[in-house]
Amino acid sequence: MSNMDEAGPAASWEFVEAMYADYLRDPASVPPEWQQYFQRMDGAAPSAPLPASRPAKAAVSPPSPAPVSAPPTGSARAKGGAGASTAPAPAPRAPGLQGEDLEHRVLMQHRVERLVRAYRGRGHIQARIDPLGTPTRYVPELDPQYYGFTEEDMDRQFYCETMRTEGPLTLRQIISRLRQIYCGSIAFQYLHIDDMRMRHWVQERIEGEQYWAPLPRNIQRRILTRLTDAVVFEQFVRRKFVGAKSFSLEGGESLIPLLDLAIGTAAQQGVKEIVLAMAHRGRLNVLANIIGKSPKEIFREFEDKDPDLYMGGGDVKYHMGYSSDYRTAAGQHVHLSLCFNPSHLEFVNPVALGRTRAKQDRLRDDERAQVMAMLIHGDAAFIGEGIVQETLNLSRLKGYQVGGTIHIILNNQIGFTTPPTEGRSTMYTTSVAKMLPAPIMHVNGEDPEAVARCIQLAMDFRKTFQVDVVIDMYCYRRLGHNEGDEPSFTQPLMYKLIEKKPSVRDAYLEKLIELGGVTRELAEQIEKKRTEALELQLSEARRSTRIMPPSSLMGRWKGYLGGPEPADDQPETGLPREQLSSLLERLTDLPEDFHLHPKLQRFMEARRAMAKGEQPLDWSAGEALALASLAVDGVRIRLSGQDSCRGTFSHRHAVLHDVENGNPYCPLQHLAGNQAPVDIINSPLSEAGVLGFEYGYSLDCPEGLIMWEAQFGDFVNVAQVIIDQFIASGEDKWRRLSGLVMLLPHGFEGAGPEHSSGRIERFLTLAADDNIQVAIPTTPAQMFHLLRRQALRRWRKPLVVFTPKSMLRHPRVVSSLDELASGRFQRVIPDPRHRAMDQVSRVLLCAGKLYYELEARREKLGVEDVAIVRLEQLYPFPRAELEALLGDCKPGTNVIWVQEEPENMGAWHYLRVTVSMQFLNRLPFSGICRPASASPATGSASAHQLEQEELLAKVFAAEQPVVRPRTETIIGTKQTQA
């Protein structure tokens, strides 16, 4: 067989046939390279078989063929084809090529090649992968008559090298073999893979006889045992907890032996840990039979006897995660971690990959061989959820690689009540996976041995190439979406078929009994033993006293704190001035042969001047010193986001590029020989996927500073599911802590609705029980101390930082080295002009860049009795610090919250509830904002300036708000009072 069959249309055999016909008529009529090729072919005796060296071994690649007209159609049908169709008439042979001479044999061999390639590319269409028996459709290219073969040709002999035979095969044998490989219980798709090595690896593996050899008896028995485990568990739960939701695995029980075999193979390949993620379908079965959660714990969750333990928190049992050490059939141990997952199905995928990458980095597993990820998907979700594509796209990117992920699709052939015809525009749910060089295997879930062959190939391919693999296991839901659902309302025909089907276990048992490998008595003993074990577990669950939920603060999380913010966890974040100066100087050191961009020379010169104390530090320097100082103290640094290496606003320049060769250089990675790793990563244009990945990374790297940066703060909208379902609620639902930092550029600069607001109000709405931190630092020193505090504290909570845009280069947004050397992060910054608060008539409370505009307006107007106080941390609310600062104010002094955001956005609503309209029961609290709006900001820069001017004018107007709780909004016809 020629490698030309892998070269696509450029190797069309119609073209080769026509070229050969021309060569026979007149050798000089074809190019010299083709003359050499055909001369080698003619070197064999006419009666000799076609040589094993094939067209692909020619000295040059064949040129693209001219278009070939479609042959006329006939009426013959391929045997076994489904549906009514016609087959084409035999393709016309080139003139003069009749008989058993070499010319005719070459042309016939070429047509066999085309037939083989058709099976490789289209055989999946006729594969028997649906356990419900949906008829396959007729594919003309798989019909030998399509290529002009007649019945008398079926016993002619041809060479088919990839089938690893000693000699030639008859055409009938070749077709039979092709149908076994490509049209059986497994449908292979791999021709979309561009890498020829990968493509040939799959091809040689599945076309070799060893792949289809009968499974050893011990493997068959283990499959039967694991199927029994799956079936008995589901039947037991349904019988003992009538009507309770469990999202049964019935109809897809082959998932359990699949996972069992995968873990066993992984252990043999040197894998020490596996991170798994899945939605709710079959989760309890996987928890009990694979992950190792005691059925007793699961049964107690069904009983739900300890409601007071979960008041206002916790999660449903089929969302829960777990971890344990799994003992394989060979006695090896693999640590398994099943990720917690809400009902947002596929959004756990990047979280699992982030956890996998963190574990690999911690083990210094640069080969990505010791930790692997397995993701179990639903069919409708895999094609329907965009997060799947985002996750797949991460797989080959340097900053996110995990060495290949095993994707297993539990294909129920329905999404809740929606059939595939209404749920996707593609033939398969896996079509999106063709974006990767990933083999795709569609397998009939009722053929457990075919499933076993798929997972073995998947594990070997991943180990060999470190690339994702997809197994699409066709099955069905025996009981509908959940146990209280009536599926026949919407799929009556499907469920008539399902009602008649025995379980996968029963069908496989009958097969093994026929083969003589298992007796019915042995199978019944296995089933009885499993049932008795579950009965014992249920009995213990009902007798046992209260069981406290397991703590998640073990292992690497030992010593870290969750819950309310502790008053005594305030580490010293300052550093000696000399150390800061030295670090900043080292950040300007470049290799001697590095060619810096001319426009960055001033950037480096300014850094050197800052290091010497000759000019104050800007925002970039403050942030860089925070990262550098942590790295040299052994804290891993990871920052990813769109354009984060340079910074969206061209302020960071953490990664420099040689202007002559483009090579990157990151000074943060070259500070000391024993420093911790520093990864600054430009992410793909993805928010949900990348944020999910970084959140997952933070779950397994509590000792690191893990950061995600939005290109603009409002882009975080796209990742709202990750924020709502994981970051903000993970501790409350699953007792999982995270120290993830989110950097969201925020500030009304006249850039329009989509580039103004990081949506402060949404985070404050989610804030409760000290679950997150929300901060808006206004100086480089504050950013320095804030980041260091996050890394050095034992209290681990997600940190949301609203970072500046115009403030990055504002002449007043600077700090001295001394401010970094001493002090801590200030939750509230008092007015430096008013130390005695009893002398002020009003207090303006604000956050972010608005402070500098208020300060400039105060100076311009010469106002002396108004204090401007910065609220640098919005949550947890710094009530003690704020009330201590306002304690000296005279009774009745107005405290006015001023914000750029519209009244229904920003922090105003949160503060109004938090403060209860009075500070210290004697200082009235009111607010001044833009009018309530459906959109964050105007799209007109001029209108923005007008609005900002009116806002500032209102703040410093002669007539101030009267002393009563109210909100004043401004600007034109939207003026209101509340």
Q: Give ∠ CA 821-826-830 in degrees, rounded to 5.
A: 110
DSSP 88: B
DSSP 50: P
338: nearest Cα among 280, 270, 267, 412: 280
Contact in structure between 489 and 211 (CB atoms under 8 Å): no
Give CA–CA dist 14/114, Å, rounded. 9
Give CA–CA dist 292/295, Å, rounded. 9
Q: With bands split at pLDDT 50, 70 and 90, how would you rate the model's confidence at 542?
A: confident
Token pair belonging to 715: 């882009």
Give CA–CA dist 374/277, Å, rounded. 7
- At residue 867, the pLDDT reads 96
Give CA–CA dist 23/28, Å, rounded. 7
Q: Return the minimum-mean-pLDDT range out of 159-168, 646-655, 703-712.
A: 159-168
DSSP 809: G
Tell me the one-letter amino acid at 882: L
Whether residue 73 is predicted with pLDDT greater than 80 in this model: the reply is no
Query: What are the start-end ranges of the H helices in 844-923?
Result: 850-861, 879-886, 908-915
Whether residue 468 is predicted with pLDDT greater than 90 in this model: the reply is yes
The torsion angles phi and psi of 766, rounded to 5 degrees, stand at -80, -15
- At residue 48, the pLDDT reads 32
Whether residue 965 is predicted with pLDDT greater than 50 in this model: the reply is no
Tell me the one-letter amino acid at 813: V
Give CA–CA dist 56/1, Å, rounded. 9
| C-alpha to C-alpha distances, 522 to 224, 227, 528, 532, 603, nearest whole angstrom | 11, 14, 10, 15, 77
Tokens 């956005």 locate to 905
- At residue 713, the pLDDT reads 84
Q: In what order do the strands lie in the sheet with 405-411?
A: 186-189, 440-444, 469-474, 405-411, 371-378, 273-278, 333-338, 322-327
User: 881: burial class by Cβ within 10 Å (0-12, 13-18, 19+)?
Assistant: middle
Q: Which residue has the higher pLDDT, 486 or 853?
A: 853
Please write the tens of the pLDDT for every residue from 514-525.
988 789 999 999
| C-alpha to C-alpha distances, 942 to 606, 894, 946, nearest whole angstrom | 33, 32, 6
β-strand pairing of 705-709 with 741-745: parallel
Whether residue 88 is predicted with pLDDT greater than 90 in this model: the reply is no
DSSP 3-state assignment of 801?
strand
- Dihedral over Cα of 913, 919, 921, 924: its sign: negative
- At residue 94, the pLDDT reads 39
Contact in structure between 802 and 760 (CB atoms under 8 Å): yes
85: nearest Cα among 125, 128, 132, 131: 125
Tokens 């995928």 locate to 349
Task: Give pTM, 2 decimals.
Answer: 0.87
- At residue 141, the pLDDT reads 95
Contact in structure between 352 and 696 (CB atoms under 8 Å): yes
Contact in structure between 723 and 758 (CB atoms under 8 Å): no
Q: Return the minimum-mean-pLDDT range out of 85-99, 163-177, 394-408.
A: 85-99
Contact in structure between 720 and 689 (CB atoms under 8 Å): no
Total residue length of the chain? 978
Percent of the chain with pLDDT over 90: 69
Contact in structure between 805 and 745 (CB atoms under 8 Å): yes
Q: How many CB atoms lie within 10 A of CB 520?
A: 11
Token pair belonging to 724: 């709502």
β-strand pairing of 873-875 with 773-775: antiparallel
Token pair belonging to 778: 């206004």
- At residue 62, the pLDDT reads 37
Tokens 């204090």 locate to 867
Average pLDDT over residues 521-538: 94
Q: Which residue has the higher pLDDT, 94 or 575?
A: 575
Q: How many CA atoms lie within 13 A of 921 on its CB side?
A: 0
Beta strands in 533-633 (DSSP E): none
Taking each helix axis from N to C terminus, what angle separates 255-268 and 448-465, rounded to the nearest 10 degrees?
30
Contact in structure between 232 and 506 (CB atoms under 8 Å): no
- At residue 13, the pLDDT reads 52
Contact in structure between 357 and 363 (CB atoms under 8 Å): no
Please write the tens of the pLDDT for every residue from 392-402.
999 999 999 99
Average pLDDT over residues 237-262: 90
DSSP 922: T
How far does the chain reach from its first CA to its final CA, in angstroms?
82
Give CA–CA dist 900/948, Å, rounded. 8
Please write the tens of the pLDDT for every residue from 255-273.
999 999 999 999 999 999 9
Please write the tens of the pLDDT for every residue from 865-905.
999 999 999 999 999 999 999 999 999 999 999 999 999 99
Tell me the one-letter amino acid at 19: M
Helix (H) or strand (E) holding 630: helix 619-632
7-11, 905-909, 958-962: which has the highest mean pLDDT? 905-909
Please write the tens of the pLDDT for every residue from 291-338.
999 999 888 888 777 665 555 555 565 567 788 999 998 999 999 999
- Dihedral over Cα of 287, 289, 290, 296: its sign: positive
Average pLDDT over residues 146-171: 84
- At residue 544, the pLDDT reads 74
635: nearest Cα among 499, 408, 793: 793
The torsion angles phi and psi of 170, rounded to 5 degrees, stand at -75, 160
Helix (H) or strand (E) holding 541: helix 520-543
- Dihedral over Cα of 955, 957, 963, 965: its sign: negative
- At residue 343, the pLDDT reads 74
DSSP 80: T
Taking each helix axis from N to C terminus, what angle separates 217-240 and 448-465, rounded to the nearest 10 degrees?
110
- At residue 207, the pLDDT reads 93
Give CA–CA dist 486/489, Å, rounded. 6
Token pair belonging to 479: 């009981």
The torsion angles phi and psi of 817, rounded to 5 degrees, stand at -60, -35
Q: With bands split at pLDDT 50, 70 and 90, how would you rate the model's confidence at 551?
A: low
- Dihedral over Cα of 245, 246, 250, 251: its sign: positive
Beta strands in 811-893 (DSSP E): 828-829, 842-846, 866-871, 873-875
User: 502: burial class by Cβ within 10 Å (0-12, 13-18, 19+)?
Assistant: exposed
Token pair belonging to 642: 């769109």
- At residue 145, the pLDDT reads 94
Give CA–CA dist 629/917, Å, rounded. 42
Query: Per the omega criterion (within 30 degrees of 0), is the bond before 439 cis?
Result: no
Please write the tens of the pLDDT for every residue from 613-663.
999 999 999 999 999 999 999 999 999 999 999 999 999 999 999 999 999
Token pair belonging to 615: 């000019």
Token pair belonging to 857: 């307006």
- At residue 32, the pLDDT reads 78
Q: With bands split at pLDDT 50, 70 and 90, how would you rate the model's confidence at 834?
A: confident
Q: Give ∠ CA 308-312-318 in degrees, rounded to 5.
A: 85
Token pair belonging to 892: 């009745």
Average pLDDT over residues 501-511: 92
The torsion angles phi and psi of 415, rounded to 5 degrees, stand at -115, 100
Please write the tens of the pLDDT for every residue from 754-781.
889 999 999 999 999 999 999 999 999 9
Q: What is the mean pLDDT of the chain?
A: 87
- Give the alpha-carbon dihedral of 690, 696, 700, 704, to 10 degrees: 40
Token pair belonging to 379: 């069919």
Please write the tens of the pLDDT for every residue from 918-932.
898 999 999 999 999
Give CA–CA dist 899/927, Å, rounded. 8
Whether residue 854 is predicted with pLDDT greater than 60 in this model: the reply is yes
